């Protein structure tokens, strides 16, 4: 069941490139103006609002004479360098007459991976909101090579929702919500109204990348919902062009797809372990080890490890998967990949009591109902 947001709540609104650009791939003022009207409606109701806005690369394509979104990293960085300032200027022009001061925060994955940077970003965000400013967040695409190549602002928005302590993350796109199946393959697939738990079936129906001018797609929105709901935030995926969409979401109306927050909210440290940095490999375990981690809340020991994939070092983040191959946990490994491969199946006594992943650095992400047994 959806609930209306109360005054004093915090909301992160993420708008995708496809919701801002026209058919020719350029940013349209009418779309920006409609978004700004929605943000004003939230603020007028007493909702602290953070905007995560894509579109910097799209805003820089035309001024540089490019015909479409480039694929090479230097050109992407060049487009972002030109477009970021232009995009912020357009937001400022639309909002300054409404008495709203905009502030730019450019973040990278590094800022979420390192505790000092994380706390500094959180303190800055809190202070800006206390002063009545509208923080506009984007990835620092001019320097963040990995984010441009592999990332998207959906994931960033989910991490910002945790950073801000938001009650709700709204992902605005050009789709009416999350469909039961990829609508490009099944046009009659219905939009899901509410999602209690993200299942493999929902993930498989998400489809792939959206358009030539964007880097995300519905799959990335479901992944972002997975992250945000673990931080205790609800998530709505909705069509940015829906009239009064943000006002309706704030009122708890049935618009788009609503993801319920996870019943157990992870601590900030466990969220950092689970989502701040990408896994560098996968550790596959037997059924006994899987049950010990999920049900017994124990550390992962080498005796239960059956296979290792990827190249990683001590302290890296790795996924933990059962024999069916679906990851159910994530943690900070204490072995390098080569060392762990040599230790497969060995007892703790043989390894001087050294765990593969200590339980304090291990986060269970699945209850084991998704194809890995009960």
- 309 with 188, same domain: the answer is no
Structural domain contains residue 197: yes
In this model, does residue 152 exceed pLDDT 80?
no
Domain residue limits at 69: 10-269
**Per-residue pLDDT tens digits for 317-337:** 999 999 888 899 999 999 999
The verdict on 57 and 149 lying in the same domain is yes
Q: Note whether 260 and 297 are same-domain residues.
A: no
Neighbouring C-beta atoms of residue 251, cutoff 10 Å:
14
pLDDT band (50, 70, 90) for residue 199? confident
Mean pLDDT value of segment 227-237 = 92
> How would residue 144 be classed by pLDDT, with cut points 50, 70 and 90?
low
* Shared domain check, 316 and 223: no
- Residue 370 maps to a domain: no
Instruction: Pick 148 or 232 by higher pLDDT.
Output: 232
Buried b (16+ CB within 10 A) or exposed e, 45-62: bebbbbbbbbbbbbbbbb
Q: Comparing 326 with 229, which gets the higher pLDDT?
A: 229
Model confidence pTM above 0.95: no
Residue 332, domain CATH: 2.30.130.10
Mode of pairing for the β-strands spanning 234-239 and 257-259: antiparallel
User: Residue 274 falls within a domain, yes or no?
Assistant: no
> Where a domain ends, among 222, 249, 269?
269
What's the pLDDT score for residue 142?
Answer: 64
Pair 24, 149 in one domain? yes
Count of structural domains within the chain: 2
């Amino acid at each position: 069941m959806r609930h209306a947001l109360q005054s004093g709540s915090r909301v992160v609104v993420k708008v995708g490139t496809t919701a801002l650009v026209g058919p020719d791939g350029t940013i349209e003022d009418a779309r920006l103006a409609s978004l700004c009207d929605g943000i004003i409606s939230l603020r007028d109701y007493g909702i602290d609002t953070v905007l995560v806005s894509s579109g910097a690369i799209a805003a820089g394509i035309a001024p540089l004479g490019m015909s479409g979104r480039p694929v090479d990293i230097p050109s992407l960085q060049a487009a972002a360098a030109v477009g970021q300032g232009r995009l912020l200027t357009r937001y400022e022009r639309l909002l300054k007459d409404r008495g709203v001061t905009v502030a730019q925060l450019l973040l990278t994955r590094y800022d979420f991976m390192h505790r000092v940077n994380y706390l500094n970003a959180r303190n800055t965000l809190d202070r800006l909101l206390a002063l009545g400013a509208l923080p506009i967040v984007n990835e620092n695409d001019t320097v963040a090579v990995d984010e441009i190549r592999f990332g998207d602002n959906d994931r960033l928005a989910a991490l910002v929702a945790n950073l801000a302590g938001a009650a709700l993350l709204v992902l605005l796109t050009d789709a009416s919500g999350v469909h039961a199946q990829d609508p490009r393959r099944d046009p009659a697939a219905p939009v899901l109204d509410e999602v209690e738990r993200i299942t493999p079936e929902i993930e498989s129906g998400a489809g792939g990348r959206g358009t030539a001018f964007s880097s995300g797609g519905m799959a990335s929105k479901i992944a972002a919902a997975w992250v945000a709901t673990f931080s205790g935030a609800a998530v709505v995926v909705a069509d940015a062009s829906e009239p009064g969409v943000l006002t309706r979401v704030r009122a708890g109306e049935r618009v788009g797809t609503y993801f319920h927050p996870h019943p157990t909210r992870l601590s900030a440290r466990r969220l950092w372990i689970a989502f701040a940095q990408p896994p560098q490999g996968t550790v596959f375990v037997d059924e006994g080890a899987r049950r010990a981690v999920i049900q017994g809340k124990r550390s992962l020991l080498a005796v239960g490890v059956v296979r290792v994939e990827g190249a990683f070092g001590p302290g890296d983040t790795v996924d933990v998967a059962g024999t069916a191959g679906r990851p159910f946990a994530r943690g900070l490994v204490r072995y390098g990949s080569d060392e762990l491969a040599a230790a497969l199946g060995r007892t703790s006594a043989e390894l001087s009591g050294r765990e593969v992943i200590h339980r304090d650095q291990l986060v269970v992400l699945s209850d084991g109902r998704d194809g890995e047994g009960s």
